[in-house]
């Protein structure tokens, strides 16, 4: 059974970008737009890129595993109806992994959600995961 609901998976399949927040060594936060890849069966999300292993976000995750990924949009521009998902959890900076798409490097950030918050989606919830 997937940790993601059907409405979350449907929403994530239609979106292209999220924003990944990581903590820098000096304690400040960094927030970057990223593409993401959902592994429903494994219960995690992967973040990849062309030079992921050389990026600051990758180095940040190597030192501090707590991250947040937000994927959101406006369902309509009339009435300002916002919808989205926030994943909070533990991340791994993995090396020598098959890239999620051609041209990406062999490094990825894998997010294991421990809390999922949704808004503006069918059956929006906040839930903690084991």
CA dihedral of residues 86, 71, 14, 7 (deg, nearest 10): 20
Domain ranges across the chain: 6-128
The number of residues in the chain equals: 130
Lowest mean pLDDT among 7-11, 72-76, 85-89, 121-125: 72-76
**Per-residue pLDDT for 77 more than 80?**
no
Q: Tell me what pLDDT residue 76 has.
A: 75
How much is the pTM?
Answer: 0.94
20 vs 33: CA distance, rounded Å: 6
Choosing among 3.30.300.30, 2.30.110.10, 1.10.3720.10, 3.10.20.30, the CATH entry for 6-128 is 2.30.110.10
21 vs 23: CA distance, rounded Å: 7
Please write the tens of the pLDDT for every residue from 15-44: 999 999 999 999 999 999 999 999 999 999
Contact between 112 and 94 under an 8 Å Cβ cutoff? The reply is no
**Per-residue pLDDT for 1 more than 80?**
no
61 vs 49: CA distance, rounded Å: 15
Share of the chain above pLDDT 90, in %: 90
Round the average pLDDT of the chain to a whole number and report it. Answer: 95
Task: Report strand pairing: 37-39 vs 44-47.
Answer: antiparallel
């Amino acid at each position: 059974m997937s940790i993601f609901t059907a409405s979350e998976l449907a929403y994530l399949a239609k979106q292209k970008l999220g924003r990944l927040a990581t903590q820098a060594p000096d304690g400040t936060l960094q927030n970057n737009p990223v593409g993401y890849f959902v592994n429903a069966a494994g219960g995690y999300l992967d973040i990849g890129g062309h030079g992921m292993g050389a990026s600051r976000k990758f180095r940040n995750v190597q030192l501090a595993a707590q991250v947040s990924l937000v994927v959101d949009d406006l369902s309509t521009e009339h009435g300002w109806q916002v919808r989205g998902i926030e994943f909070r959890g533990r991340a791994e900076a993995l090396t020598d992994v098959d890239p999620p798409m051609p041209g990406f490097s062999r490094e990825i950030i894998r997010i294991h959600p421990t809390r999922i918050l949704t808004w503006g989606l069918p059956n929006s919830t906040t839930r903690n995961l084991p």
